[in-house]
Structure 1
């Protein structure tokens, strides 16, 4: 095994553990967001309900409904099917309520990047 590959794989493992650990620690925050949404609109979107019951594999998709409005403009391709009231509500939430989502997806992006760089390095070496 190549030294660089071993380092990349070790970083990937550490990053994966950190990412899923952070996500597990923030489960209560996700439940709080769902409660606020349910109080305001009386229901949760179907996709979010399905993702919540998806277990480990849907750890990140369950928060996408709240995350995407924080990073894209209204009417963008990624939020084109979201109701305008939902988008505005999520954008109006205080940073203390939604800031952890950006950290969670930053960690997820870092983990995914390490995985692909490890695969590419192994493939081309």
Structure 2
């Protein structure tokens, strides 16, 4: 049982690392999306600019604004303070074009959920 939990934990950490690698590989898509936003609205939101140059540490934070606009409705609690231009821009994009944002966060969430499940299994069966 210990070895199963050990390998499962290793798998969880690997998935989280893969999420960061995937995010860095899709950095050009983020820049393309920001450039299109800049062409259409003539500015880039300050929140996105603040996280763009922060490197791998905030790699997920720079896309959270686009993700929230992609998955929540206009009147949702989660997008109440979101720039309406971001919301309308993302809603106009084809789903294939912004799929990488959803995939990146799904990989990360899967990694964290499996890590939490490993911790629970460890505390129940091993500790």
Scaled by the length of structure 2, the TM-score of the pair is 0.88
Unaligned runs of 5+ in 1: none
1:37-94 per-position Cα deviation (integer Å, ceiling 9, x unaligned) = 1111222111111111222221111101111111111121111012333211110012
Q: Find the counterpart in structure 1 of residue 77 from structure 2.
A: 77
User: What's the CA shift for 1:4?
Assistant: 2.8
Q: Find the counterpart in structure 2 of residue 117 from structure 1.
A: 117
Query: CA–CA distance in 1 between the matches of 2:81 and 2:58?
Result: 20
Query: CA–CA distance in 2 between the matches of 1:76 and 1:60?
Result: 21
Question: 58-67 vs 41-50, which deviates more?
Answer: 41-50
What RMSD over aligned residues (CA atoms) do the two structures have, in Å? 1.7
CA contact (8 A) 1:8 1:117 kept: no
Q: Find the counterpart in structure 1 of residue 67 from structure 2.
A: 67
User: What's the CA shift for 1:117?
Assistant: 1.7
Query: CA–CA distance in 1 between the matches of 2:53 and 2:122?
Result: 35
Q: How does 1:1-125 map to 2 (within 5 A)?
A: 2-124=2-124, 125=126
Unaligned runs of 5+ in 2: none
Query: CA–CA distance in 1 between the matches of 2:53 and 2:121?
Result: 35
The 4+ residue runs of structure 1 with deviation greater than 3 A are none
Query: CA–CA distance in 2 between the matches of 1:85 and 1:54?
Result: 23
